[in-house]
Amino acid sequence: MNIAKLLLAASSLVATAALAAPVTYNIDPEHTYPAFEADHMGGQSIWRGKFNSNTGKVVYDREAKSGTVDINIDIKSINFGHDKMNTHALSADMFDGAKFPVASFKGKLAGFKGDAPSEVQGNLTMHGVTKPVTLKINSFLCKANPMTKKEVCGADASATINRADFGVDYGKAFGFKMETKLLISVEAIKAD
């Protein structure tokens, strides 16, 4: 009888450990939109754009209240909804897409409130420059997608950066404000 209880307790510990393991989620590029807002002419208007192509993964451990984020963004997929502006943004004046075709963000989930992180502390690499950036997570939810039946974690995150810190300072001489707001909507699908 004692051996049976011991075996039951051991199997319970093994099952709990298996549930507590980190889970990998692959970024769903169809539902992930790294977007931004940037000043035009020192307050005259705000230009909004996004990047249409991205890849990456999130590793999330609910029990340990930890995780990592690793995202790559194809700079050439920039989209202002204005072809001439897209072309100019990819030129050496701004992002220099030929020389720096990828931006990346690598970070750690932090500030957990229950199972949900409240921020991602990491490093943004853009235009060949790496700087620390903390993304504030405005909402976070994991649940089964009712259509695919796969678990999906999603978040809405934001941060403000100074784009000149990354060497993207076009317009500064014309009075453009360098403060740029990042607006990230992301969904990631549990890996098989």
What's the pLDDT at 13? 46
Alpha carbons 2 and 87: distance in angstroms, whole number: 74
What's the pLDDT at 174? 96
What's the pLDDT at 3? 57
pLDDT per residue rounded down to tens, the chain (192 residues): 455 554 444 454 444 444 569 999 999 999 999 999 999 999 999 999 999 999 999 999 999 999 999 999 999 999 999 999 999 999 999 999 999 999 999 999 999 999 999 999 999 999 999 999 999 999 999 999 999 999 999 999 999 999 999 999 999 999 999 999 999 999 999 999
What's the pLDDT at 14? 46
What's the pLDDT at 73? 98
Alpha carbons 172 and 77: distance in angstroms, whole number: 24
What's the pLDDT at 12? 47
C-alpha closest to that of 154 among 62, 58, 90, 23: 58
Q: Where are the domains of the chain?
A: 21-190
Which CATH architecture is the domain 21-190 placed in?
A: Beta Barrel (2.40)
What's the pLDDT at 45? 97
What's the pLDDT at 20? 63
Bridge partner residues of 183 (DSSP): 35, 158
What's the pLDDT at 5? 52
112-144: string of b/e by CB count within 10 Å (b at 16+)? Answer: beeebbebbebebbbbeeeeebebebeebebee
